[in-house]
Amino acid sequence: MSSDVAARASLAVSLAFHIVFAALGIGLPLMFCIAEGIGLRKRDATWYVLARRWSRAAGILFVVGAVSGTALSFEFGLLWSRFMGFASGVVGLMFTFEGVAFFVEAIFLGLYLYGWDRLSPRVHWLSSIPVVISGALASQFIVAVNAWMNTPTGFQVVNGTATNIDPFAAMFNPAAPAQALHMLIAAYQVTGFAVAAVYAVGMLRGRNDKYHQRGVLLGMILATVMIPAQAIVGSWIGEMIARQQPEKLAAIEGLFQTTAGAPLALFGWVDTSTQQVYFAITIPKLLSLLSFNNPDATVTGLDNFPQATWPGLAVVPIAHLAFDIMATLGGLFLLVPLVFWLFYFRRRRTVPTTRWLMWTLVVCGPLVFVALEAGWIAAELGRQPWIIYNIMRTSDGATTNGGVAVFFFVFLAIYIALAVATIGLLRRLAREQKTFVTSEKPPGSIE
């Protein structure tokens, strides 16, 4: 493996791993904040049991997210030293903001997770609020960095170095608001569906009690609230890419010729050598409509760009499929909650036990992570061959060190081990008695 391929593979593995924990680390605090808030107000133990269990799950997930995030902040230098040498001054302000937000999150999470025996009910609940806010903010700054790689602003290149740096202009780059909100909403959707799926499994096993009903209910509420938000932000991103990165849009959609009233090719295999999309479902004029809100608008095709800057033979079809998987699943995640509420209200406000509906929720659990990963893959591959769009090629950003291949395999092994252990622990947690246990003496734990 050459250094830059190994560097890509290593960071891909690290981020694919980290994004799952980061998304749940953003979403679960909102869940336990709401559950404990209701429990405190209504003096209801069931909500407290839910909050307590989500906090334990969040504790396990947050640790893995935090250590993999710490590893990432070293990996940027280890794997992408030339990118960091060029860019870190420009994007540093965003990372600084993120660092502060993450610090606040860690402090209050420490209070929350370990404070069940130390804090008053009110203070304990209040300590969850900074966790929710700072977790959400941290994601905004970190995604803004990724957005900057798509639409770099706030500097000029003189003799190969970034000069005249305006870190605020870099932070508010054109892609930042839409991309960052898209990620935040996705994190809440992921959490909502994942939590609902866990409790739907319990319902399918006949545990139709308040505890399981409320788990499904709160998960679905979160997923539902995010429907309009994600629909709006999703179309905002489409338009933004069409304007800012027409090449990325053309590659993701497999559009080779610049076309007025461009059709949308759903799924299929994009072949850059023959410039065809095989086995696709073609919907007339939809791409123009989605990109410019006008069915007859002209969408720029890959023919407008030199082949040397196309994302590459292997990358385009994967980016296309990944994008379509995300978009299709995204559509499913908008529909499923609506069906759920239809059943909920027809059954006079009780959580439905209809088996196929519960099974749908269970299946949505893993699918929501597929969508998360697919969206991220489409975004990253679509930007290729650039690490900073139109400024620096990915191969020029990688370290010149040898030994990156070893790095890749070592970290792959570590992350697999951590994933296995995390899943094992979460399954163990799910099997435990659903009673209120406090942090200092959880069963099976130390003492």
Partner 1 sequence: MSQSTLATLSALIVWVALIAYAVSGGADFGGGIWDLLARGPTARRERVAIAQAMGPVWESNNIWLIFVLVVTWTAFPIVYAGVSTALFIPITLAVIGIVLRGAAFSFRSNYGLEVGAGLAWGRVFNTASAVTPFLFGTMAGALVSGGIRFTGQPPEAQANPWTTWTTPFALSCGLFALGLCSVLSATYLAVDATNNGDQALVESFRRRAMIAGAVTAVVGAIAAALASVQAPVLWHGLIGRALPLSLAAVILGLATAAALLRNWLRVARVLVIVMAVCILAAWGVGQWPYLIVPDVTIDNAASPASVLGPMLIVVLIGLVLLLPALWYLLRIFKARPRARTPQTTVAAFVSTLEPTEETD
Which residue, among 248, 84, 89, 81, has the nearest Cα to 156 in the 3D structure?
Answer: 89
Distance CA 224, CA 38 (A): 19
Residue closer to partner 1 by CB (options 110, 261) is 110
Distance CA 232, CA 148 (A): 21
Residue 250, classified by CB atoms within 10 Å of its CB into exposed (0-12), middle (13-18) or buried (19+), is buried
Q: List, in sequence order, the alpha helices (H) in 115-209.
A: 121-150, 167-171, 176-204
- Closest approach of partner 1 to the CB of residue 403, in Å: 7
Judged by CB under 8 A, the chain residues 54 through 73 that form the site for partner 1 are 59-60, 62-64, 66-71, 73
Residue closer to partner 1 by CB (options 204, 429) is 429
- Closest approach of partner 1 to the CB of residue 370, in Å: 24
Is residue 94 within 8 Å of 170, Cβ to Cβ? yes
Residue closer to partner 1 by CB (options 306, 444) is 444
Q: Does 46 bind partner 1 (CB under 8 A)?
A: yes
- Closest approach of partner 1 to the CB of residue 18, in Å: 11
Q: Does 166 bind partner 1 (CB under 8 A)?
A: yes
Contact with partner 1 (CB under 8 A): which of 13, 16, 38, 81? 81
Residue closer to partner 1 by CB (options 49, 289) is 49
Residue closer to partner 1 by CB (options 156, 257) is 156
- Closest approach of partner 1 to the CB of residue 3, in Å: 11
The pair of structure tokens assigned to 327 is: 């978009």
Residue closer to partner 1 by CB (options 12, 429) is 429
Q: Does 285 bind partner 1 (CB under 8 A)?
A: no
Is residue 351 within 8 Å of 358, Cβ to Cβ? no
- CB count within 10 Å of CB 74 equals 9
Q: Does 348 bind partner 1 (CB under 8 A)?
A: no
Residue closer to partner 1 by CB (options 160, 306) is 160
Distance CA 251, CA 293 (A): 20
Contact with partner 1 (CB under 8 A): which of 16, 38, 100, 332? 100
Contact with partner 1 (CB under 8 A): which of 5, 12, 38, 165? 165
Q: Does 350 bind partner 1 (CB under 8 A)?
A: no
Q: Does 130 bind partner 1 (CB under 8 A)?
A: yes
Is residue 214 within 8 Å of 46, Cβ to Cβ? yes
Burial of 338-360, coded b for 16+ CB within 10 Å and e otherwise, reads: eebeeebeeeeeebbbeeebbeb
- CB count within 10 Å of CB 433 equals 8
The pair of structure tokens assigned to 67 is: 């250590």
Contact with partner 1 (CB under 8 A): which of 5, 78, 129, 229? 78
DSSP E strand boundaries for 284-440: 298-299, 386-388, 392-393
Which of the ranges 41-49, 286-294, 298-306, 360-368 carries the binding residues for partner 1, by CB under 8 A? 41-49
Contact with partner 1 (CB under 8 A): which of 2, 121, 416, 423? 121
Judged by CB under 8 A, the chain residues 407 through 436 that form the site for partner 1 are 407, 410-411, 414, 418, 421, 424-425, 428-429, 433-436
- Closest approach of partner 1 to the CB of residue 334, in Å: 32
- CB count within 10 Å of CB 369 equals 17
Phi-psi region of 227 (alpha: psi -120 to 50; beta: other; left: phi over 0): alpha
Residue closer to partner 1 by CB (options 211, 236) is 211
Q: Does 393 bind partner 1 (CB under 8 A)?
A: no
Residue closer to partner 1 by CB (options 89, 261) is 89
> Residue 393: beta bridge partners?
386
Which of the ranges 166-174, 178-186, 192-200, 347-355 carries the binding residues for partner 1, by CB under 8 A? 166-174
DSSP E strand boundaries for 196-339: 259-260, 264-266, 269-271, 276-278, 281-283, 298-299
Contact with partner 1 (CB under 8 A): which of 5, 16, 174, 210? 210
Judged by CB under 8 A, the chain residues 363 through 382 that form the site for partner 1 are none
